[in-house]
Amino acid sequence: MGITMNKLELSKSPVNYTGGKFKLLPQLLPLFPDNINTCIDLFTGGANVGVNVDAKKIICFDIVEPLISLYKTLQSTAAEKSLEKLEHIIQAYNLTNTYRNGYSFYHCNSRDGVGKVNKASYNQLKQDYNTQANPKMEDYLFFTLIIYGFNNQIRFNANGEFNIPAGKRDFNASVRKNLRSFIEAIQRKNIDFYVNDFQNIDVEFLGENDFVYADPPYLIKTATYNEQSGWTEREETDLFMLLDQLNKRKIKFALSNVLESGEKKNLILEEWAKSYHVHDLNYSYRNSSYQKKDRTESDREVLITNY
């Protein structure tokens, strides 16, 4: 299977997506197959797996159109140019820039953050994004909302409006570093991004040297990515059927999921997984984008493979 990876060698997504797998990559990547021709990332999210998997060709899918549009824009734009555009938005909306000015300039500190200072400006930015006031800069407006938003999360309401409130952080050194590394990776690698639902993705072209990775919303977890009944037992079962079909064609797959969370148990997943190999993962989502109330030490996070 894949070689052992050190986190220092990996590119971290600048999008702190809920349930992102960056912290688990040193455990996940060694469990992936060797010599992958094409890797399909069915639920790319923050794209941490997609940008770090070792494959000749990588295809990343997600149903969140603004997210895929952002990745395509970053991929086709020089890193310095993207940084300039973000700086322009930050200045235009009078948002904080502690990277250049420090916290004291805004009469704040790193512990309490800059949320109160940015609230009015952030709300104006959000309104302009939701009303498409500046379509040419739409991808960068979206990214700025993520950077300055609460826990750097992505959430849209039933009307399709971005509705995360202002957060404590801004475009700091860490986000800048991750952004540069991410852009370098997606521009260097043979990777494509597409908007599509897993149920509509054509996998007929895949062969025995190809690999499908699935990190779907977790049925027994509560997070922004599966609000509004976005993931139910029906979607769960449909995904298992797809993976079963891949298995019949001898196409390797790996599924990330949670078998147990506190007193909850995913019985559908438990029964289906009996036909495959279950790898238990040691993890810690501390300081991640999971809500504190949704983190428990009793979670049993696993990688399920057919090889």
Q: Which tens digits make up the pLDDT trace of 255-276?
A: 999 999 888 999 999 999 999 9
Degrees, nearest 5: CA angle 172-176-180: 175
Sort strands 300-305 and 211-214 into parallel, antiparallel or unpaired. unpaired
Q: Residue 293 pLDDT more than 80?
A: no
pLDDT tens-place string over residues 163-210:
999 999 999 999 999 999 999 999 999 999 999 999 999 999 999 999
Which domains are delineated in the chain? 7-63+196-305 (3.40.50.150), 77-177 (1.10.1020.10)
Q: Residue 242 pLDDT more than 80?
A: yes
Question: What do you get for the CA distance between the two ends of the chain, in Å?
Answer: 10
Q: Residue 287 pLDDT more than 60?
A: no
Question: Which of 253, 270, 252 is CA-nearest to residue 261?
Answer: 270
pLDDT attached to residue 57: 98
Taking each helix axis from N to C end, the angle separating 79-92 and 173-188, rounded to the nearest 10 degrees, works out to: 140
pLDDT attached to residue 135: 92
Across residues 33-53, what is the average pLDDT?
97
3-state secondary structure of 140: helix
Local confidence band at 294 (pLDDT 50, 70, 90 cut-offs): very low
Local confidence band at 244 (pLDDT 50, 70, 90 cut-offs): very high
pLDDT tens-place string over residues 51-99:
999 999 999 999 999 999 999 999 999 999 999 999 999 999 999 999 9
pLDDT attached to residue 290: 41
pLDDT attached to residue 223: 55
- Model-level pTM? 0.90
Query: Amino acid letter at 96?
Result: T
Q: Report the alpha-carbon distance of residue 3 to residue 281 in Å, rounded.
A: 17
Q: Residue 9 pLDDT more than 90?
A: no
Highest mean pLDDT among 6-15, 64-73, 289-298: 64-73
pLDDT tens-place string over residues 202-225:
999 999 999 999 999 999 876 554
The string over 200-209, giving b where at least 16 C-beta atoms fall within 10 Å of a residue's C-beta and e elsewhere, is eeebeebeee
Helix runs in the chain, H state only: 25-28, 65-75, 79-92, 98-101, 115-130, 138-148, 173-188, 233-248, 267-273
